[in-house]
Structure 1
Amino acid sequence: MAQGWRRLRAGFLVPVAFVWALCMALALPAPAQDLGGLARLDGAVTLEAGWRSLSLSIPMTQAVPWRTRLMSDPPRAIVDFRTLDWTGFEPASVPLLGDATALRVGNAGGGWSRLVIELSRPMGFAQAGLATDQETGAAVLSIALSPLSDTSFAAQASALAATDGEPGPNVLRTATDRLALGQRPTRVVLDPGHGGVDPGAIHEGVTEASITLTFARELAEALRRTGRYEVVLTRDNDTFISLEGRITVAHSTQADVFLSLHADALEDGQAVGATLYTLAQSATDAAGAALAERHDRDDMLGGGVDLTGTDDAVASVLMDLARAETGPATDRLARALVGAIRGAELRMHRHPWQQAAFSVLKSPSVPSALLEIGFLSSDRDRERLRDPAWRTSMEQALVGGLDAWVEAEVAQQALRLR
């Protein structure tokens, strides 16, 4: 199922010259990695001409958010895609037929790529739909264009433009009357930690930001392929998102679960294995407190709003809400994920479930957890994080853990209805 969302960013920039100099100094090139979660073309793009019509088919390795647009002078039909890699595609390889006069692709900004079909006369979208193979996750976007009068073309162009940034049939909706958990796909927000001017931990040229993005893309693909999950990533490229902005994504998409992904480093180098954190006013140990403090400090460096500086009364209310509304569900989430990781016989920290005051977990309405997949400061963890087979095992364990959590939440709902 294709996904999409509206991303809101709150905060302010810190115009301090040395900050940017420091960030540039730390912006080391990341090594090439297998980004299996990125959608790519999965075959030939085909264009067919019928009587007074055009049909276009775009095969992809997986579904992505998409949107349609019409533009004039000259008339053009446009399809935008989120996180679709067009590498290797040559528009000249597609024969131009019927009213199609040119075909090209480019960057539409904001993480979107654009396919443009130039037309010899005004034509509009008679049909557009995305079909997904539930077994493989592959998807095909099919569109059909038919002639329009100048007036109808302008009307359809205006209607499509009015939906810019709004949920449509091909993106996630946030209706409050959606079905209960278990009767619809579970909506998961994956949060790859750090990004952009904040690379996170760095070791031997490997950045935490690149590791977590790779893992999040792969985990998103694994979840989507089950057909049981809708997945949103807080970032899908190397950009900075503030802590408040990450929480906003969870709220604006009405997420059922928020999972922040990290691969940190600790000075003593002793931490080894996956570690799950949930929200608490005080940390389980000094290492957890140091990690939470550093994450918040990195957010300030990037220009975001540091939620730990919130007025004490407001912070107290948020904490109370988190405990009362989502605390039990979050605890069940932690138990399910830790149980699944251990069940897969994957290495975990000697204290696998800990608590700390991570600001990114301070959403009062969404069960939230932070997973340190491993630690870049550990030689053994670095080797595992770079191993695609190990990542696949961890990703499958997390899918199983989320399945167990959903089952438990459905059972809790049934008990409340008795």
Structure 2
Amino acid sequence: MTIERQQAPPLQWVARWLDTELDALLDSLVDGELAELPELAVARDDPRAEIRHSVRVHLIALADGLNRSPLEGELTLPAFISRHTRALARQDVPSLPALLRAFEKIHAGVWQRLTAALREGPFHVAKERRAEVLEQASAQLFAYFQLASNETASAYATERALLERRAMSQRSTVVNGLLNGSVTTTAAEQALGYDLNAVHVGYVAWVDELSDLDRLDTALATLSEHLRPRQHLSVPAGERTQFGWITCHNGSWLEILRGYRLPEGIHCAWGSPQQGADGFRASHRDALEARRVGETTGLARGNRAVLFDDVAIASLASRDLCSASAFVHRQLDKLAGTDELAGRLLETLRVYLNELASPTRAARRLHVHPNTVVKRVERIEAMLGRRVDPASLALRVAVELAPMVRLQPRSSTPLSSDPTVPVDAAPAPRASSG
């Protein structure tokens, strides 16, 4: 007796067809998947048996949903599916895109066999009923495989994120131990997969708002594409900060950093290149100092990275901010004031000294006429009570320190900074791109 003679409801017809043709359908679907998606068979002892088992579970779940009225409740997947997906995610084999393509392949395979069964063989359906069967079967197939794809993607992503958080936490622990000397170089290299016998450049990256953390990851990934480092290691260090190190093939990284514009709300400070495990630590300390100076002077508020070598004088001379403030006020007097005019003249003097007292080059950088630079220098000399001497080391140091102290009262105390244990004080790490 055929299903057609029983006049079974459309969805029950499909369910019975699935149950009767299960083995033949499985063989066809598995053959198709292995042929078009060979990555499904990677690193498995018996790939065909495992794939057949996974497809069989889905077909049985699909048939169960077809046997139930849509009014009885929403479609659900067997708990096994989520557990199996998370196990695959832990192995990262196969990839999520491959799994999702597998669902598309199964969906298409079931549909092709179903349409053939409607036309011929013991399961054929009269022409006047085929449209009804196809309509209801199509809706149910689409709903099931959409649910299967969505839940698989969610389970896979959840497991991968959990693994990444664990890995990131472990990396942070190892990096912290390397920085404070409690982890050996050999152990760190094995745990991090990072060669310490190289020249390292450390960086500190941070955001103004927590909502910008995803943008920070994207910005660092984009910057890494420009730098093309031989190695890149990064770990989270607090809610808004990330520490990192790169090793590059040549010195082009410096020129790239000087020309790279950071997105709004994202900031970065870089240390100096240093060799070996000690250099790994030293470059990190330099990066922290570059951040301190950059934030104090306002350089970090711009869209350029702060480079330690550019602020090294200010870093070294500002360790005792009280003495530095007194020195600046002695050297610059009214130029160290807080008014807008003093700030504009101070910036002119800084550029003028950096350009070796050339009004033309200074004007080009300041985007003004050379005569404007000359007049400003004359006014600066009047305020200083002496001529500007480009060879004066004291004057140059005072100008570099001025942004750090001009807004500080003369009795200000030193800024506290402990760059030696940066990760210990940070909250629990978050997941990020390595």
The TM-score with structure 2 as length reference comes to: 0.23
Query: With CA pairs under 8 Å and 6+ residues apart, which has the higher RCO, 1 or 2?
Result: 1
When you count helix as a share of all residues, which structure comes out higher?
2
Larger Rg computed on CA atoms: 2
When you count strand as a share of all residues, which structure comes out higher?
1
The TM-score with structure 1 as length reference comes to: 0.24
